[in-house]
Amino acid sequence: MALKPCSADCLKELYAKGQVFSFLARYSAEIKDHQLQDNYAIINDWLNPKLATSQPQQENAQNQEQSYKVAILVPKKVIGSYSDLSTNAILAYLALKNHDFTFKVFDSQQEDPDNLKQTYQSIVQEGFPFVIALLTQEGVQNLVAKTPLTLPTIIPTVNKHQLEKRMDLPSMLIFGGINFPSQVDMLLELSQHKPLVVYDDDSFRGAMLSKSLKDLGANILYEDTITFKKASTFGRELVHQRKYFKDAVVFFNTSIVKTGLLLSQIGMLSSRDRPLMYLSSQINFNLSMFMLTQPKDRKHLYITSAISKTSPYLSQTATLLNADLEYDWVSYASVDSLEHMLLRLNPSLERYFKEPMENQQIIYTNTIYTPKYLGFSPLIPPTH
């Protein structure tokens, strides 16, 4: 018995629930929604792969004699879940390339110099042509301190500016991290440099973003470091802090959960007591924002992101492997870094990412977004 086709909304619901077989079975050729058309084509190709497509076939013909060899160095006890997310995203990219590959994860556990040196040397000994290293800023410093870098080594999690004034950078060291200070600078321009109320995360990232604000000469009226305990009881803090909000701008350097908690409690104030706008960098470009807050809480919220649109096939393949290339900047930067390394080996490689490399650093384009419905919409600059 044939299943009755369902509406566009019905198909979107099936897709969101991961019911891909029902989605395929009830899809109709009459569907006009472009996103649904893309989703159908991607799932259909995934489940029923074509014998060949022109570009992968060309790549294979040119490089049949060698497979891609990819090594990723991860201190799992330090970076936690980012390890699995980035690994899955890289696997999605390699699988989509229709090219033989060897992919191996080397776990250093920690970021101390000795563990990093031992792990790096294992990668060299096994004949990998380059290294993708998911390290913190401190981890990069520890790696360079004791390990001669003999392979091109790219760091998707750190931007060059974080280290170039602190140390001499080896020629083999390449950076793929986004530029958080440039995002902060964009947001300060948007705020027209009005007085800021700043909430920082109790983490390295929070401290780094706070320093960026100060280095850029931000007019900070009030600043506080937010723990999870303080975020969950922030309503008590508002009694004393609401006086700072009038004609001011709130800048969130906090994680998405803390930002959601703070926004939802500030949103309970009367409109005349709320700040002029809310600003945040990449760390809050996350769909969880829509589960943690109400529409009124998100009014006048602006967030910067360096993530650009990539191949819909790659994005959906990553989704099937539980990775997110649309909102998770570490996964996005990891795969972008991989592509730049593969380009060194195969200049004719079909590219999925458009970011260039300049002076050993991937250059990202930052865009300011504002929440709209259940997604983020690019902010259109006012015309003069």
Q: What are 9-61's pLDDT values in tens digits?
A: 888 887 776 666 667 767 777 888 878 887 777 777 665 554 334 444 445 44
Residue 169: DSSP 8-state = P
Do the beta carbons of residue 256 and residue 289 sit within 8 Å? Answer: yes
How much is the pLDDT for 58?
46
Q: Which domains, from first to last, does the chain contain?
A: 8-47 (no CATH), 63-177+310-353 (3.40.50.2300), 180-305+367-378 (3.40.50.2300)
3-state secondary structure at position 210: helix
How much is the pLDDT for 147?
97
Terminal-to-terminal C-alpha distance of the chain:
60
Q: Which residue has the tokens 């800048």?
A: 251
How much is the pLDDT for 362?
98
Could you tell me the pLDDT band of residue 4, with boundaries at 50, 70 and 90?
low
How much is the pLDDT for 64?
47
How far is Cα 97 from Cα 118, in angstroms, rounded to an integer? 31
How much is the pLDDT for 93?
94
How much is the pLDDT for 54?
40
In 46-155, DSSP assigns E strands to 68-74, 101-107, 131-133, 153-155
Over the stretch 326-372, which tens digit does the pLDDT of each residue have?
999 999 999 999 999 999 999 999 999 999 999 999 999 999 999 98
Q: Hey, which residues does 199 pair with through a beta bridge?
A: 224, 252
Return the minimum-mean-pLDDT range out of 3-7, 87-91, 163-167. Answer: 3-7
Within 10 angstroms of residue 276's Cβ, the number of other Cβ atoms is: 15
How much is the pLDDT for 38?
79
Could you tell me the pLDDT band of residue 139, with boundaries at 50, 70 and 90?
very high
How far is Cα 325 from Cα 47, in angstroms, rounded to an integer? 21
Residue 154 has pLDDT above 90, yes or no: yes
How far is Cα 95 from Cα 74, in angstroms, rounded to an integer? 21
Over the stretch 182-206, which tens digit does the pLDDT of each residue have?
999 999 999 999 999 999 999 888 9
Q: What is the dihedral of CA 48, 52, 56, 60, to 10 degrees?
A: 120
* Amino acid making up residue 101: F
Nearest to 63 by CA among 260, 277, 349, 316: 349
For the chain, helix (H) and strand (E) counts, in that order, are 16, 14
Report pTM: 0.82
Helix axes 329-345, 82-96, angle to 10 degrees: 40
What is the pLDDT averaged over residues 107-123? 97
